[in-house]
Amino acid sequence: MESQAMRVDGNAMAGILGEVFVQDMTAARIRCGGCGKVEPVGAEHAYTQAPGIVMRCCHCDSVLLVVTRTATTHRFAIGEAAWLEVGET
């Protein structure tokens, strides 16, 4: 089967993204792409004196995620985070 036949537009992500972003994100687990360590988001280091908030790995200081907020939006810039896992394991 060709990849175009299996593809739909990004609106198909609405349901699953809605499930993810209502959860407690501090308990989500994040894997650093720099050192490979996995920690809860709440255990990583957050720098709030930058434009937005910068989350850095508590082991190797790699930038994992940057979140900036305007009056109407939130922008997530994914840095060295290999993945983010939300929910019970």
The interface mask with Zn ion, positions 54-73, x = CB under 5 A, is ---x-xx-x-----------
Instruction: Report residue 58: phi and psi, to 5°.
Output: -75, -5
SS3 breakdown of the chain: % helix, strand, coil, rounded to 5?
Answer: 25, 40, 35
Size of the site for Zn ion (CB under 5 A): 7
Closest CA to 53 of 30, 22, 79, 20: 79
Closest to Zn ion by CB, 21 vs 83, is: 83
- Which residues ranging from 19 to 48 are in contact with Zn ion (CB under 5 A)? 32, 34-35
Contact positions vs Zn ion (CB under 5 A): 32, 34-35, 57, 59-60, 62
